[in-house]
Amino acid sequence: MKQWLRYGVVGLCGLLLLACGTPDVPATALPTLGPILAQVHQPESGVAGAVPRPTAARPSAQPSVQPSAGAAAPTPSGQPEASADPLEDYRQLMEDARATHPYPESVETMWAVMMCESSGIPTIQGPGGLTGLFQYQPSTWAGAWNPYRDQPITDARAQIYATAKAWSDGNQHWWGVCLPQ
């Protein structure tokens, strides 16, 4: 009986692996949720592989990020009320964050990393405690490098500004497989 149970479990695992597929990434790459979410979610339009729209934690019109002492606070750039689509707001936040913490990559590169990591869902939880738009470990988020560590790890605005700060400090390698080459 135990042997049949073992075969059943192994077979079920094999079927799950076949159903999920495997992303074309090196075996040593850290897991990310973007490719998995793109396979699992089917948007209302029915287009396979399309990225779902986030529904949680829409950014507010006023900045919620207050950096720790000594860091520059993000300021609104005369932007209008938050749009109906949080993803549109994220692009503006990325531009503002890049102005506060300059880094060499484009905003489009940061956008691609965010979509790879979380599909733009700020409250998403990944394997091993990874959390938020850019999938930070809580211990990394709480590090002295991060002037936004006093904000919730799921705060989209704080994640965008913290990532701009990390990139400004030269830590793009933290995003490994999601950082376009």
Percent of the chain as helix, strand, coil, to the nearest 5 = 45, 0, 55
Q: What number of residues does the chain have?
A: 181
CATH topology of domain 32-40+82-181: Lysozyme (1.10.530)
Whole-angstrom Cα distance, residue 60 to residue 56? 12
Lowest mean pLDDT of 18-22, 120-124, 130-134, name the range: 18-22
Is the pLDDT at 62 greater than 50? The verdict is no
Contacts 24+ apart (CB under 8 A), 61-64: 63/157, 64/151, 64/155, 64/157, 64/158
Given a cut of 70, whether residue 145 has pLDDT beyond it is yes
Q: Is 4's pLDDT higher than 90? A: no
pLDDT averaged over every residue in the chain: 72
Pull the structure tokens for residue 100.
């506060």
- pLDDT of residue 44 exceeding 90: no
Residue 95 structure tokens: 């531009």
Residue 60 has pLDDT above 70, yes or no: no
The whole-number pLDDT of residue 14 equals 47
Of all residues in the chain, the percent with pLDDT exceeding 90 is 49
CA separation for the pair 90, 74 (Å, rounded): 13
Phi, psi of 72, deg, nearest 5: -75, 130
Residue 132 has pLDDT above 50, yes or no: yes
What's the whole-model pTM score? 0.59
**Using CB atoms within 10 A of its CB, is residue 31 exposed (0-12), middle (13-18) or buried (19+)?**
middle
**Each residue's pLDDT tens digit, 82-119:** 566 778 899 999 999 999 999 999 999 999 999 999 99
Averaged pLDDT for residues 36-51: 41
Higher pLDDT, 67 or 17: 67
Say whether 75 sits in a helix, a strand or coil: coil
Q: When comparing pLDDT for 2 and 18, which is higher?
A: 2
Q: In the prediction, which pLDDT does 21 show?
A: 44
- How far, in Å, CA of 171 to CA of 35, rounded? 22
Retrieve residue 169's tokens.
């400090």
Q: Residue 51 in contact with residue 24, Cβ under 8 Å?
A: no
Q: Please tell me the distance from the alpha carbon of residue 2 to that of residue 27, in angstroms, as a whole number.
A: 32
Ordered by start, the domain boundaries in the chain are: 32-40+82-181
